[in-house]
Structures are given as C-alpha cells and as structure tokens.
Structure 1
Amino acid sequence: MPRGRYLLHDPADGTPLGEEHFQCAPGPTGWRYVSRLDDPAGRPTGAVDLTLDHLGRPIRLDLRSGDWQVRGAALDGVTWVRMATTGEQATEGNAAARAFTGASPAFAVATAHLLRLTPEEPSALIRLVALTPPVLAPRTHDESWTLLGTETHPTDSGPLTVRAYQVDDQETGERHTVHLAGDVVLAAPGIELADLDSPPSPTIAATPGE
C-alpha cells in the first residue's frame, strides 16, 4: 500500500500550490486512492477519495476543494452531484463520458488503467468530465492518450516499470507527458513525487481470473 506526498505547482510558472498526502492500494475488485490536500502554508484545502472497479471505472468519487464538494460515479456515463460543503446549492449532472479527471494525480492513474494501452494498441480517445479546483465546476472534454514507451529500471526492491504517456487535450490542443510507475505518478506537469514509503503497486487491479 504506497503512501507518499506529491508537491503541486502551477505548470505555467512553477508557483507552489501545496501538497497532496496520499495512500492507495489495489484490492480483489478494484483500486482505492485517498488523499489530503494542503496549501503552501500547511492549511487543509481539500481531499480526494476515489474508488475504481476492476475495469478502471469510477464507482465512487468524493472530491472536496475549498467550499465545494462533488460526489460521483459511473452511471449512465458519469453522474455527479456538486454542492457546497454545507450541503446547500446542490446540483445534479450527467454526461456521456467514461470517467472523471482533475488536478489530483489519482486521475492520471485512473485514466491510464481504464484505457489499458499496449504497444499493439498504443492510442485511444476518451471523453472525461474535468473537475478543477477551486470550485470544481464540471467541464466535459476529450483527451487523446498515447503510450510512448515502457522502461524497466532496477531498484533495491526489484524492477520498476515506468510507462510514459502523451496526453493531448482535443479542445485546447495542449499536450503534456505523464510518467507512471504502477499506481504512482512519477512526473507530470504541476506534479512532483516528493516522498514514497513503499514501492508502487505493479498493477492497479486485476480482473478476477486473470
């Protein structure tokens, strides 16, 4: 069960945005990621609780940022309720998308697992609902993911497999690269892995019988 800490910063100018203290673990039917977000002064600013099924679909999302909260799941596409943390101003939403995305590294791991790209089928287009701090207003958009390559590095705890993905936002044309090792983001725009107390899980989840 990896536990660690990500440093978050503005990918445009490097301004520190805070830290995300996380833990994640695969289970017999899926994968769960929980985290606490703090601002640069150490004050709590939000939290992430994401559970995937064995296919990588979000079966439970509880996302908090400032005064806002979103709860969602894969249902008729994806369905969510956005509200103030007081429970007021609740609005429901639904979109013909496959999953959620946002600022947390958890979403990059989740999308990569959902797509399961291989050298034989290295690219895919996916529709996602983005929930971005500080107000978590939903925005549906398409991303193209391409597996650029896989490298294996020797470590004290055994071989570490790192996968590099190119991500293209089909609406804005923005392009970036994400490096993943199992269920941990090693590097991505605005994300730096600062601490990790145990090796990443080599796989996020396994289909029963695999």
Structure 2
Amino acid sequence: MPRGRYSLHDPHDHRPLGEEHFHCAPGPSGWRYVSQTTTPSGDHAGSVDLALDDLGRPIRLELHAASWQVRGAALDGVTWVRTDPTGVHATEGNVRAHAFTGTSPAFLVALSRLLRLTPASPATRVRLVCFTDPVLAPRTLDQSWSLVKSEAHATDNGPLTVDEYQVNDLDTGEQHQVHIAGDVVLSAPGIELEDLETPPSAFPTDPPEPTDPAPTDS
C-alpha cells in the first residue's frame, strides 16, 4: 500500500498551495485513494476519497474543501452532488463525460487507468469534469492523452516502470507531461512527489478490456 506525500503548487506562478498526504491500494474490485490536504502553513484544507472499479471508472468520489463537499460517481456519464458550506442547499450535476479531475494527483492515476494507453495508441480525447479549488466549482474540459514511452528503472525493490504521458488541453492548447509509476504520480504540473514510504503498487498486467463509459459528442 503506497503511502506518501505530494507537494502542490500553482503550475503557472509556482506559488505553494500546500501538501497532500495519501495512501492508496489496488483491490479485488479496483483501486482506492484516500488523502488529507493541508495549507502551506500546515492547517487542514480538505480531503479526497476516490474509488475506481476494475475498468478504471469512478464508482465513488468524495471531496471536501473550504467547507464545501462533492460526492460523485460514473452514472449516465458522471453525476455529482455539491453541497454548500451551510449544508442546507445542494446542487446536482450531470455531464456526458468520461471521468472527474481536479488538483489531486489521484485523478491522473485514475485517468491513466481508465485509458490504458500503449506507446502505439493514438492520442485519445477525453471529456472531464474538473472541481476547482477552493470551493470545488465544477467545469467541463476536454483533453487528449497519449503515452509517449514506458521505461523500466532499476530500484532496490526491482524494476520500476515509469510511464510518460503527453497531455494537451484542447481548450487552451497548453501541453504538459505527466510521469506515473504504478499508482503513484512522480511529477506533473503543480505536483511533486516529496516522500514515498513504500513502492508503488502495480496494476494487473492483463486487465479487462476498457469500455467507453460516456462517449462525448464531436
């Protein structure tokens, strides 16, 4: 069970945003990631609880930040309920999208698991619902993902395969790289792995064939 700490910063001006203390593990029916986030001063900022099924689809998402809460899952695309700080009002949302995303590194691992790209795969377009900090406001965005290369690196615990992804924001044209090993993000815009107590977990080598949970309109 990988357990560690990410540092988070603004990908544009590199302003520190805090840290995310996490643990995650694959299981018989998928993968689960749980974390607590803190501010740069060390105060509690929120939490993430994400569970995937064996196809990589989000079967449960629960986010907390600044007294706001979001609960969501893959249902007719993706569906969520966002609750305001008073706890009195709630708004529901549904988009024909493939998955959720946000600040947490968990979303990058989850999307790589959903897509299951190979270096020979063409760039794959995905529609995502992003929950933006600090109030978890939802917005829909489109990205394309491609797996540039997979390289095995020797470690004290045996070979570690690192996948390098090219991610394009189809709305802005911005491009960036994401490096993932197993179920741990090594680096990505705004994310640095600072501490890892145990090696990343490896997903099954022969997973079920993925399906498209929510085809988007062209």
Q: Please state if 1:135 is matched with 2:135.
A: yes
Q: Distance in 2 between matches of 1:82 and 1:73?
A: 12
Q: Please state if 1:6 is matched with 2:6.
A: yes
Counterparts of 1:50-199 in structure 2, within 5 Å, are: 50-199=50-199
* Percent of paired sites with the same residue: 66
More divergent stretch after superposition (118-127 vs 14-23): 118-127
Q: Distance in 2 between matches of 1:143 and 1:88?
A: 34
Q: Distance in 1 between matches of 2:11 and 2:32?
A: 26
Please state how far the C-alpha of 1:207 moved relative to its aligned partner.
Answer: 4.2
Report if aligned partners of 2:121, 2:146 keep a CA contact under 8 Å in 1: no
Q: Which 4+ runs in 1 deviate beyond 3 A?
A: 204-208
Q: Distance in 2 between matches of 1:76 and 1:108?
A: 21
What are the Cα deviations for residues 34-90 of structure 1, in whole angstroms up to 9, with x where unaligned? 000000111001100000000000000001111211100000000000012442220
Partner of 2:30: 30
For the aligned residues, what is the CA RMSD? 1.6
What are the Cα deviations for residues 117-157 of structure 1, in whole angstroms up to 9, with x where unaligned? 01231421011101111111111111100111111100000
Q: Distance in 2 between matches of 1:113 and 1:21?
A: 21
Q: Distance in 2 between matches of 1:140 and 1:19?
A: 25
More divergent stretch after superposition (85-94 vs 46-55): 85-94
Residue type matched to 1:94 in 2? N
Q: Distance in 2 between matches of 1:37 and 1:142?
A: 26
Please state how far the C-alpha of 1:115 moved relative to its aligned partner.
Answer: 0.4
Q: Matched residue pairs, number?
A: 209
Residue type matched to 1:33 in 2? Y
Q: Distance in 2 between matches of 1:197 and 1:204?
A: 22
Residue type matched to 2:88 in 1? E
Unaligned 5+ segments in structure 2 are 209-218
Residue type matched to 1:111 in 2? L
TM-score by length of 1: 0.96
Residue type matched to 2:40 in 1? P
